[in-house]
Chains A and B, each alone.
Chain A
Amino acid sequence: MAETATRTTRHSPLAHAADRFAAATRTSSGDLRLAELPFRTQLNVRLDPKGPAGDAVGLALGLPLPLEPDTAVRACDAVRDLAVLWLGPDEWLVVGRPGTQQDLESRIRAAIGEEPAAVTDVSAQRTTLLVAGPRARDLLAHGCSLDLHPRAFGPGRCAQTTLARAQVVVVGRKGGFWLLVRSSFADYVADWLLDAATEYL
Chain B
Amino acid sequence: MLLIPCPWCGPRDEAEFHYGGQAHLAYPEDPSALTDEQWARYLFFRDNPKGPFAERWMHSAGCRRWFNAVRDTSTNEFIEPRCGQTAPRGERGELGEGGRNTTTGPQPTTKPGGPEVESPVSERDRAGETQPFRRATGGRIARSDRLAFTFDGVAYEGHPGDTLASALLANGVIRTNTSIKLGRPRGIFSAGVEEPNAVIQIEEPFPEPMLPATTVELYDGLVATGLPGRGRLATEPDPARYDAVHAHCDVLIVGAGPAGLAAAAAAARSGARVILADDQPELGGSLLSTGRLPSWPAEVAALLEASADVRVLRRTTVFGYYDDNHLLAVERRTNHLGAHAPDNVSRERVWRIRARRVVLATGAHERSLAFADNDRPGVMLAASARSYVNRYGVVPGRRAVVFTTNDSAYAAARDLAAAGVDVVAIVDTRREPGAQVPGVEVLAGHAVIGTQGGDRLTSVTVAPYGSEGPDGSQGSGGSDAPQREFTADLLLVSGGWNPVAHLFSQAGGKLRYDDALGSFVPDSCRQAVEVAGTANGVFDLAAVLAEGAAAGIRAIEAAGYPAATSQLPPVTAEPASPPAHVHVVPGAAEASSFVDLQRDVTVADLTRAAGTGMRSVEHTKRYTTAGTANDQGKTSGVLASGTVAHLLGVDISVLGTTTFRPPYTPVSFATLAGRDRGVLHDPARLTALHPWHTAHGARFENVGQWKRPWYYPLSGEDMETAVLRECRAAREGVAFMDASTLGKIDVQGPDAGVFLDRIYTNMMSTLKVGMIRYGVMARLDGMIFDDGTAIRLADDRYIVTTTTGNAAAVLEWMEEWLQTEWPDLRVRCTSVTEQWATVALVGPRSREVLGGLAPGLDVQNDSFPFMAWRDTTVAGIAARVCRISFSGELAYEINISPWDALALWEALDEAGTPYGITPYGTETMHVLRAEKGYPIIGQDSDGTVTPQDLGMSWVVSKKKPDFVGKRSYSRADTLRPDRKHLVGLLPEDPSAFLPEGTHLVADSVLPAPPVPMLGHVTSSYRSAALGRTFALALIKGGRDRIGERLYAPVGDRLIPVTVASPVLYDPEGARRDG
- Encode A135-151 as 1/0 by CB contact (under 8 A) with B: 00010011111110100
The yes or no answer to A87 lying at the interface (CB within 8 A) is: yes
Establish whether residues B899 and A185, one from each chain, have CB atoms under 8 Å apart when the complex forms.
no
Binds A, one of B290-298, B871-879, B916-924, B958-966: B871-879
A136→B248 CA distance, assembly (Å): 16
- Encode B648-675 as 1/0 by CB contact (under 8 A) with A: 0000000000000000000000000001
Contact A141 B246, CB 8 Å, known A5-B878, A117-B828? yes
The yes or no answer to B750 lying at the interface (CB within 8 A) is: yes
Please give, as numbers and ranges, the residues of chain B lying within 8 Å of A183 by CB-CB distance: 688, 834, 898
Establish whether residues B10 and A196, one from each chain, have CB atoms under 8 Å apart when the complex forms.
no
Please give, as numbers and ranges, the residues of chain B lying within 8 Å of A118 by CB-CB distance: 746, 748-749, 828-830
Please give, as numbers and ranges, the residues of chain B lying within 8 Å of A128 by CB-CB distance: none
Binds B, one of A56-64, A73-81, A154-162, A171-179: A154-162
Binds A, one of B123-131, B140-148, B237-245: B237-245
Establish whether residues B835 and A125, one from each chain, have CB atoms under 8 Å apart when the complex forms.
yes
Q: Which of B685, B877, B897 contacts A124 (CB 8 A)?
A: B897
Closest CB in chain B relative to A184 CB, distance in Å: 4
Please give, as numbers and ranges, the residues of chain A lying within 8 Å of B897 by CB-CB distance: 1-2, 5, 124
The yes or no answer to A37 lying at the interface (CB within 8 A) is: no
Establish whether residues B898 and A161, one from each chain, have CB atoms under 8 Å apart when the complex forms.
no
Please give, as numbers and ranges, the residues of chain A lying within 8 Å of B10 by CB-CB distance: 69-70
Please give, as numbers and ranges, the residues of chain A lying within 8 Å of B836 by CB-CB distance: 124
Q: Which of A4, A116, A126, A145 contacts B873 (CB 8 A)?
A: A4
Establish whether residues B62 and A159, one from each chain, have CB atoms under 8 Å apart when the complex forms.
yes
What's the interface size class on A, roughly? 35 or more
Contact A4 B877, CB 8 Å, known A89-B8, A159-B9, A165-B676? yes
The 6 closest A-B pairs by CB, nearest first: A1-B878, A118-B748, A184-B685, A116-B826, A188-B683, A9-B903
Establish whether residues A162 and B61, one from each chain, have CB atoms under 8 Å apart when the complex forms.
yes
13 A-B contacts (beta carbon < 8 Å): A1-B879, A11-B901, A118-B828, A122-B835, A124-B835, A142-B245, A145-B15, A159-B9, A166-B683, A183-B688, A184-B685, A184-B687, A187-B684
For chain A residues 76-101, which have a beta carbon within 8 Å of chain B?
87-91
Establish whether residues B835 and A39, one from each chain, have CB atoms under 8 Å apart when the complex forms.
no
For chain B residues 832-866, which have a beta carbon within 8 Å of chain A?
832-836
Contact A184 B706, CB 8 Å, known A10-B900, A116-B749, A120-B830? yes
Closest CB in chain B relative to A111 CB, distance in Å: 16
For chain B residues 812-834, which have a beta carbon within 8 Å of chain A?
826-834
Contact A9 B902, CB 8 Å, known A4-B873, A69-B9? yes
For chain B residues 869-897, which have a beta carbon within 8 Å of chain A?
871, 873, 876-879, 897
Establish whether residues B246 and A120, one from each chain, have CB atoms under 8 Å apart when the complex forms.
no
Closest CB in chain B relative to A5 CB, distance in Å: 5
The yes or no answer to B100 lying at the interface (CB within 8 A) is: no
Q: A89-B63, A89-B65, A187-B690 are in contact. List 12 more A-B contacts (CB 8 A).
A: A2-B878, A13-B688, A88-B64, A90-B828, A91-B64, A124-B898, A142-B244, A145-B13, A146-B246, A159-B62, A161-B62, A187-B686
Q: Which of A2, A116, A147, A195 contacts B354 (CB 8 A)?
A: A147
Please give, as numbers and ranges, the residues of chain B lying within 8 Å of A122 by CB-CB distance: 830-832, 835
Interface centre among A5, A91, A141, A165 (most CB of B within 10 A): A5
The yes or no answer to B247 lying at the interface (CB within 8 A) is: yes
Q: Which of A90, A124, A196 contacts B834 (CB 8 A)?
A: A124
Contact A11 B8, CB 8 Å, known A88-B64, A161-B16, A184-B834? no
Establish whether residues A4 and B878, one from each chain, have CB atoms under 8 Å apart when the complex forms.
yes
The yes or no answer to B1027 lying at the interface (CB within 8 A) is: no
A12→B837 CA distance, assembly (Å): 13
A4→B903 CA distance, assembly (Å): 13
Establish whether residues A149 and B831, one from each chain, have CB atoms under 8 Å apart when the complex forms.
no
Which B residues contact A (CB, under 8 angstroms)? Answer: 1, 8-10, 12-13, 15-16, 61-65, 241, 243-248, 273, 344-346, 352, 354, 675-676, 679-680, 682-688, 690-691, 706, 741, 746, 748-750, 826-836, 871, 873, 876-879, 897-903
Closest CB in chain B relative to A35 CB, distance in Å: 17
Please give, as numbers and ranges, the residues of chain A lying within 8 Å of B680 by CB-CB distance: 164, 188, 191-192, 195
A39→B898 CA distance, assembly (Å): 11
A199→B873 CA distance, assembly (Å): 48
Closest CB in chain B relative to A180 CB, distance in Å: 12
A110→B690 CA distance, assembly (Å): 38
Closest CB in chain B relative to A4 CB, distance in Å: 5
Establish whether residues A11 and B830, one from each chain, have CB atoms under 8 Å apart when the complex forms.
no
Task: Give the residue name and chain of the A residue nearest to B796 (CB).
Answer: A116
Q: Which of A117, A125, A201 contacts B833 (CB 8 A)?
A: A125
Establish whether residues A16 and B691, one from each chain, have CB atoms under 8 Å apart when the complex forms.
yes
Please give, as numbers and ranges, the residues of chain B lying within 8 Å of A182 by CB-CB distance: 685, 834
The yes or no answer to A55 lying at the interface (CB within 8 A) is: no
Establish whether residues B685 and A46, one from each chain, have CB atoms under 8 Å apart when the complex forms.
no
The yes or no answer to A41 lying at the interface (CB within 8 A) is: no
Closest CB in chain B relative to A150 CB, distance in Å: 11
Please give, as numbers and ranges, the residues of chain B lying within 8 Å of A46 by CB-CB distance: 748, 828, 830
Closest CB in chain B relative to A34 CB, distance in Å: 16
Establish whether residues B247 and A141, one from each chain, have CB atoms under 8 Å apart when the complex forms.
yes
Task: Give the residue name and chain of the B residue nearest to A69 (CB).
Answer: B8
Please give, as numbers and ranges, the residues of chain B lying within 8 Å of A90 by CB-CB distance: 828
The yes or no answer to A25 lying at the interface (CB within 8 A) is: no
For chain A residues 13-31, which have a beta carbon within 8 Å of chain B?
13, 16
Please give, as numbers and ranges, the residues of chain A lying within 8 Å of B827 by CB-CB distance: 116
Task: Give the residue name and chain of the B residue nearest to A116 (CB).
Answer: B826
Establish whether residues B902 and A88, one from each chain, have CB atoms under 8 Å apart when the complex forms.
no
The yes or no answer to A198 lying at the interface (CB within 8 A) is: yes
Establish whether residues A11 and B9, one from each chain, have CB atoms under 8 Å apart when the complex forms.
no
Task: Give the residue name and chain of the B residue nearest to A48 (CB).
Answer: B826
Please give, as numbers and ranges, the residues of chain B lying within 8 Å of A6 by CB-CB distance: 876-877, 903
Please give, as numbers and ranges, the residues of chain A lying within 8 Å of B832 by CB-CB distance: 120, 122, 125
Please give, as numbers and ranges, the residues of chain A lying within 8 Å of B65 by CB-CB distance: 88-89
A90→B899 CA distance, assembly (Å): 29
Establish whether residues A144 and B61, one from each chain, have CB atoms under 8 Å apart when the complex forms.
no
A126→B833 CA distance, assembly (Å): 10
Please give, as numbers and ranges, the residues of chain B lying within 8 Å of A160 by CB-CB distance: 9, 61-64
A198→B902 CA distance, assembly (Å): 32
Establish whether residues A185 and B683, one from each chain, have CB atoms under 8 Å apart when the complex forms.
yes
Establish whether residues A162 and B15, one from each chain, have CB atoms under 8 Å apart when the complex forms.
yes
Task: Give the residue name and chain of the A residue nearest to B15 (CB).
Answer: A162
Closest CB in chain A relative to B822 CB, distance in Å: 14
Closest CB in chain B relative to A46 CB, distance in Å: 4
Please give, as numbers and ranges, the residues of chain B lying within 8 Å of A117 by CB-CB distance: 748-749, 828
Establish whether residues A123 and B835, one from each chain, have CB atoms under 8 Å apart when the complex forms.
yes
Please give, as numbers and ranges, the residues of chain A lying within 8 Å of B833 by CB-CB distance: 125, 184
Please give, as numbers and ranges, the residues of chain B lying within 8 Å of A124 by CB-CB distance: 834-836, 897-899
Please give, as numbers and ranges, the residues of chain A lying within 8 Å of B61 by CB-CB distance: 160-162, 167
Contact A121 B835, CB 8 Å, known A12-B899, A149-B273? yes
A99→B516 CA distance, assembly (Å): 77
Task: Give the residue name and chain of the A residue nearest to B901 (CB).
Answer: A11
Establish whether residues A165 and B243, one from each chain, have CB atoms under 8 Å apart when the complex forms.
no
A112→B62 CA distance, assembly (Å): 26
Q: Which of B8, B676, B749, B877 contacts A5 (CB 8 A)?
A: B877
- Encode A102-115 as 1/0 by CB contact (under 8 A) with B: 00000000000000
Establish whether residues A199 and B900, one from each chain, have CB atoms under 8 Å apart when the complex forms.
no
A146→B248 CA distance, assembly (Å): 8
Establish whether residues B344 and A185, one from each chain, have CB atoms under 8 Å apart when the complex forms.
no
Please give, as numbers and ranges, the residues of chain B lying within 8 Å of A88 by CB-CB distance: 8, 63-65
Establish whether residues A201 and B900, one from each chain, have CB atoms under 8 Å apart when the complex forms.
no
Task: Give the residue name and chain of the A residue nearest to B687 (CB).
Answer: A184
A13→B826 CA distance, assembly (Å): 34
Closest CB in chain A relative to B783 CB, distance in Å: 28
Task: Give the residue name and chain of the B residue nearest to A1 (CB).
Answer: B878
Contact A162 B898, CB 8 Å, known A5-B903, A147-B248? no
A192→B244 CA distance, assembly (Å): 12
A147→B684 CA distance, assembly (Å): 27
A46→B245 CA distance, assembly (Å): 35
Establish whether residues B63 and A69, one from each chain, have CB atoms under 8 Å apart when the complex forms.
yes
